[in-house]
Structures are given as C-alpha cells and as structure tokens.
Structure 1
Amino acid sequence: MRTFYDAGIVGGGVIGLMSAYFLSKAGIKVAVFEKGKIGCGASSAAAGMLGAHTETERADAFFRFAEESASLYPGLSAGLLEETGIDIQLVYNGMLKLAMTAEEAASLRDRAGKEPDVEWLSRDSVLKKESNLTEDLQGGLFIAKDGQVSPSALCRALARAVQINGGTILEGAAAGRIQRAEPSHYEVSAAGETHYCEALVITGGTWSGQLFGEVGISAPVHPVKGECLSIMPDGFRLASTVFHESCYLVPKSDGSIIIGATMEEGNWRAEPTIQGMSSLMEKAVSIMPCIKKGVFQKAWAGLRPAASDAKPYIFKHEGMKNLYAATGHYRNGILLAPKTGEMVRDLFLNRPVKEEYEREFGLNRRTEVKS
C-alpha cells in the first residue's frame, strides 16, 4: 500500500521539526524522516540561547530575522504547552555581553547608543549584577529580553504537536535514495520502504549537502564541530547568561551551568576531546574564576551545519518543482527555528515573504567566506 504525503521533511532536528509544525498547523500532511532519534544531532548539543545580539555586530537582514524569530517564542511556548503539555522552559534571564578591553568597551558602548533593548553597564554595575565574574573587565552590554529554552524539550514538544496535527514522525529512517518521479511527486527510500511525497523539504543539517546532491543541487554545507560541558556550581550561582567572544556560560533551571562552545571547521567526529574541554575551562575560569570550584557533570559535542557565509539556506527551488530547503543554520538553529518554520510554511503556501529574507537566504545569493 502506497502512503502519500503532501510534504516529506528530510531531517528531524529543530529546523525540520519546526518546519513540520508550521506546515501541519496549516493542514499540510507531513512526514519527518530522521535517521536517528528526533533532535539527536546539533539540536541536542545546543545550549538553547535566544540571543540575536551575540551573533552579529550589524543591524542587517540576518539580525532582523533573528529578532523576529526570538519574538515568536512566547506564543510558541504557550501554544505548545497547551497542545502537548510539554514545557519548553522558556525563561528571560537576560544576557551580559562582556568587554574585557578598552577597545571592546568602546565598541559595545557605541552599540548601546544605537540599538534599542540594550544597556551599557559599567564594570561596577556588571559586578553588582553578577558578583562572581572576574574583576578584570571593562563593563558589558545587558540585553534584558534575551532568554533561553530547553532544546530537548522543544524538540519533544514539536514532534508531539506534529503528530497531534496529523503528521508522521519516522525515526531510524535515513533517507537513502531520493528521486523525482515526474510529474507528480518525490520518492524517498527510508526504513525499508518507498514513501511518496508531493513536495520535499531538505532540513538535514550537516548532511544537507549530500541530500542536495541527491536531487542535483550544488549547495555545500560543512560541519563546524562544537564542544560543550556542564558543571554544577558549589557555593556560587549565575543568574544571567554571560557571553564573551565565542564562550558562553548559560545557567539552567536545575542550577547547572552550560559552558560552550569550541569551533572546529570540517571535523565530522561528534565526540568531545581533552583539548576542547581544556580550552573551554580555561576561558570559563577567565570569565568567572570561582567556576573552577564547580563539579563537572558531562561533556558533549555536536556538528553545526554551515554554509560558506555562515548564513542559512531557506528557499523554494525555482527550477525544481515542489523542492524546498531550510538548513545551514550554523550555531543559531534554536534561535532561528520559529521564523524559519514560518518562512517554510509561507513559501509552501505561496504567501508573501519579505524580499530581503528571500534574497539573504536564497540558493543563488552571493556568498562570501566568513572568517
């Protein structure tokens, strides 16, 4: 017996699940094909931060997309809780972006003067807010509205909501062969069966480049390995997320602190290393000296999917019928997921999408290698 779906979504991380969620809420019959467990890739390695200000220094299209995406979380959180009973643990604990040098302080003060929702704090004001931070700092930006979610809870809630809305979640279903059966549908071989999908949405994270190759598209996506660890404080606490350069300290609801993340281009091995842990600990202690008293809990690693310009691909293919993609979200998958899912839905239903987003995240954009 043949099973037909309106849309087959290849990849069950947060981007695939969010795309399936928005499509299923719009009445589209979806199937999510995930080779492992839902959310088991880069999504499971994320700290869950919702901080647009940490990812760019410019108020460009990417920043506006990130802010719009973050603003969707309160409604999304309430809706998922009502629909599934799962709390995605959305909290707004604020973020401190630290300045350790006079040059960094001047840059952040300038941003505070130009951007809404951010406040420059002097060294003393930062230490009044977080007394355990190093005294060797110049000050910092405080972004009160920045928050976080639990990535694992988010993925569970999205998957459950997709099922409630008539969608299908197929775990252990790696998409082997994908081909277009003109003129009507795509055929996806997964879990020992052939599945028939009128449309295809590629959301395969780091493996999206290979999936693109299956349908004849050249759009390289490469892994950027990120390692993290968590500790349980002993006699101290952290209230706000703290960020400096590429290191973040994220306090979680159980009192633990996630420390991340390393960045290693082109490494396909998703295991933590002694070198990675050592570098994270050294940086974390330089930010918050007493963290060395914390009790080590665990370490992990994930493979962030990145295009050469570190911006995601979100598009409807112009030359191949009913082919869509949402991938390459680098280290911003959790932050960008709601707006990405909304954009996939709108592209699918031929609803208006902002031209700057189609241009910025399109397949044929001019890409520059981000250093």
Structure 2
Amino acid sequence: MNSPKSPSCEGPIKHLAILGRGIAGLTAAYHLSKAGFKPVIFGRKQAGAQASRAAQGVLCNKGLIFFESPLFKAKLESLRSMPAFLDRIESESGQPIPRLFQGVNEPFWTEDDFQKTVSRIYRGKFWGAHRTQIQTPPKSTNNPLGYIHYPDDGWFDPRAFLDALEHILKREGILFIEEDVETFQTIDTKIEINKQSFDQIILATGAGSANLWPELDCKALRMFLIGGQTLECERQMVGDEAIQVKGNQSIAILKDKVIMGSTSWPGFESADIKADADQLRDAIQTNFGQTFTGGLSRSGTRMRFKDRMPLVGWLNTGKHAGKIYFLTGFYKNGMHLAEICAREMLCDITNKGDERSYPEFSALRFSV
C-alpha cells in the first residue's frame, strides 16, 4: 500500500505551518529545516496537557520483535537509531542531553512472578523473539530473585532534548508563535491561521488534535485520550544508575534524581492528582522494592487509536484534503517514534511517498 502523494507544485512548498510544539512537531520542523523548508511553529512551550514535557523518557521495547507488526518494527528501528540521533542533536545544539543506554532491567521476585512476566511479554503466543538476558543480583531481602535484562533499551531526558531542538531551530531562523490554534479556514488554495496564509498544515498537536477534529470534518476509528503523571524526586543515596520497568510502571534511577512513571486515566484531567501520585508511589514500592516521598509532579495527555499505531499521512477527504498532514496519535510511543515518523512525513511533503517505510501508519486505514 502506497501513501497518498502530496499535492503537486512547482518547486518546494514554501509556506508550512506546524501545529504542536512537542516532540512530534519539533522533530518534524528539524527534518523540514534540513530539507530547506522554513515552517512556522504554533504552540506554547509549557502547554498544560503537553505529554512530551511530562514524559519520563524510558525507551523500552522489552526485547520483543513481533515480525508482523509495523509498530514493533518501527520501535525496533528506533532503538537502533535513537542514540545516534541524540548524539547529533547534542552536537549541533551544543547543549547536553542526559541519557543512559546501558540496558533496562525488569525484576522478578519469585519463580511464579518470572513465569507471569514471560507469559505477559509473549502474550501467550510464541510469535515473538527475545534479545534478553537473565541477571541474578546479590542475595538480599531488598533484592528481587533476578532481572530480565533488555540490553538495547535505555533512557534520555525529554525536556533537555526538546530544548536542544528548539535551540537549533531558532538559530536556523524558524519562527515560533506562542499560541495554540483552535480554528483555521481554507480560502482559495490556502489555509489561513490567524490571518496568516499557508499552503499546508502539519497537525502534530497530539491530544490537542482532538479539539481540531470537528474542524477537519473527518472521523477516526476509536480515538482515545489518556492522561498520565510522572514524579521526579532527589536521590537520597549514592549508587549505580539503573533503568527498570515492571508492567506499566518504570523507574529511572539517575545520579542525582529518580523519575517514576507512569499512571494513566481517561481524558485530560485526573479526578484526584494527589491520589494518583500516591498510587504511583505504591506501585513503585510493590514492583521495585523502593520507597519515595514527595516529588515534582508532571502530567500530560496522550492520544491513541484503537490499533495503537500513530497517524502519519495526508487527510484525503473533505475541503481540507491534501492540505492537512497528520503527525499524531503516538500514545506512549512519541519518544520512540517521533524521529522515524518525521522522516516518513518528509517523504510525503517532498512527493516521495512511495519511499515510505511504514505506509501502514497513513490515514488510508481510516478512510479520512
């Protein structure tokens, strides 16, 4: 299946707007800038529901390769390419991006826990392939029976990464407009946003895309909004750095701080953010045998579709057809997939959609 082509035009498309200032929008702007475009970026840096700046930053594929799944193929590619991309952005920006790629551990506390963990990973079917190791820690009442070690996985600081990207883009003359876009209209062959005209819009607002859905006069299959919270606190004891996961929870134990994540709730806001934080601390204590108090809370809202794949491609129907490009619906995979999907987007924007590696992410699967 080939992704739909972008509208034909003479020369490069000069007037592009990117709605969204999270990891999807900034990574898209970076690749467009390198290709000679000068997109205008709309969005507030500290948007209240922005998932990117609330993210924990753990990249963990848990050793899995589901050969029939384009989502897992893309995540596997990301684990291979993301460390080099982080090096590149750090070098170009001159700003440090803290990261730790020495593998991720998943503890098991009993033999039964080990069996349940392996069963959950395989989902009851032997269709996956592992690149994992079993590690046994020194015997102690505070240590688990062992760890499943995922050597290719790791962590990076999302906020430092976003700041480095912004630094590069501003140095390249990319314009940032500190406002959210709630409406736009098509006038002749252009799309107008706050009296500014653009040829095409890249919709990279994540959960904010839901607010614009009625404007697009299209329907997606089963779109969900999921909020989440991470907690960051100072590290009280000196020790080794480590990244650990267990089920839906994860913990990044760094030199000077500990980052816990994450919980989730339906919609934009938690019914009780404090109770949700307490629940997260309890889960961390249960899953990792460590107790923490206090901590800086960050929360954001993610969007996903029923098939959990991102939406990367042109809007094909309605008055905005060929004018709106979707780069959204990453759910928990934004840190994994933003750079890969930005490359997919660049193929479409430059009329090379037949060179895409993941056409399954396009809007064709929704008929929109």
Q: Same fold (TM over 0.5)?
A: yes
2:161 to 154, 160, 181: 154
Shift of 1:295: 5.1
Q: Provide the rounded CA distance (Å) in 2 between the counterparts of 1:132 and 1:246.
A: 24
1:95 to 90, 93, 104: 104
2:66–2:128 Cα contact (<8 Å) kept: no
Q: How does 1:283-362 map to 2 (within 5 A)?
A: 283-289=283-289, 291-292=290-291, 294=292, 296-319=294-317, 320-352=321-353, 357-359=358-360, 361-362=361-362
Q: How does 1:122-271 map to 2 (within 5 A)?
A: 125-128=135-138, 134-135=143-144, 137=145, 139-171=146-178, 173-183=179-189, 185-189=190-194, 194-219=195-220, 221-235=223-237, 237=239, 239-252=241-254, 254-266=255-267, 268-269=268-269
Change (3 A) 1:5 1:177: farther
Query: Which residue identity does 1:274 align to in structure 2?
Result: K
1:68 to 45, 60, 77: 77
Determine if the alignment matches structure 1 residue 104 to structure 2 residue 119.
no
2:347–2:355 Cα contact (<8 Å) kept: no
Q: Provide the rounded CA distance (Å) in 2 between the counterparts of 1:201 and 1:306.
A: 18
Shift of 1:163: 2.2
Shift of 1:8: 0.3
1:69–1:339 Cα contact (<8 Å) kept: yes
Query: Which residue identity does 1:127 align to in structure 2?
Result: P
Q: Provide the rounded CA distance (Å) in 2 between the counterparts of 1:298 and 1:353.
A: 45
Shift of 1:114: 5.8
Q: Provide the rounded CA distance (Å) in 1 between the counterparts of 2:43 and 2:270.
A: 17
Q: Provide the rounded CA distance (Å) in 2 between the counterparts of 1:161 and 1:316.
A: 27
Change (3 A) 1:106 1:214: closer
Shift of 1:315: 0.9
1:272–1:300 Cα contact (<8 Å) kept: no
Query: Which residue identity does 1:310 align to in structure 2?
Result: R
Q: 3-state SS of the aligned residue for 1:227?
A: strand
Match of 2:9 in 1: none
Shift of 1:47: 0.6
Which consecutive residues of structure 2, in runs of 5 or more, have no partner in the other structure?
1-12
Shift of 1:366: 6.2
Change (3 A) 1:39 1:278: closer
2:66 to 58, 62, 65: 58
1:226–1:303 Cα contact (<8 Å) kept: yes
1:272–1:299 Cα contact (<8 Å) kept: no
**1:140-167 CA distance string (max 9 Å, x none):** 4211221211111111111122223332
Change (3 A) 1:20 1:140: same
1:202–1:325 Cα contact (<8 Å) kept: yes
Change (3 A) 1:222 1:102: closer
**1:197-227 CA distance string (max 9 Å, x none):** 1111001111202223223222364321112
Q: 3-state SS of the aligned residue for 1:318?
A: coil
Shift of 1:108: 7.5
Match of 1:282 in 2: 282
Shift of 1:311: 2.1
1:228–1:299 Cα contact (<8 Å) kept: yes
Q: Provide the rounded CA distance (Å) in 2 between the counterparts of 1:86 and 1:40.
A: 26
1:270–1:301 Cα contact (<8 Å) kept: no
Q: Provide the rounded CA distance (Å) in 2 between the counterparts of 1:119 and 1:262.
A: 26
1:204–1:211 Cα contact (<8 Å) kept: no
Shift of 1:323: 2.0
Q: Provide the rounded CA distance (Å) in 1 between the counterparts of 2:217 and 2:181.
A: 15
Which consecutive residues of structure 1, in runs of 5 or more, have no partner in the other structure?
none
Q: Provide the rounded CA distance (Å) in 1 between the counterparts of 2:240 and 2:249.
A: 15
2:19–2:204 Cα contact (<8 Å) kept: yes
Q: Provide the rounded CA distance (Å) in 2 between the counterparts of 1:301 and 1:35.
A: 16
Identical amino acids, percent of aligned pairs: 21
1:84 to 79, 83, 93: 93
Supply the RMSD in Å over aligned alpha carbons. 3.0
Shift of 1:306: 1.8
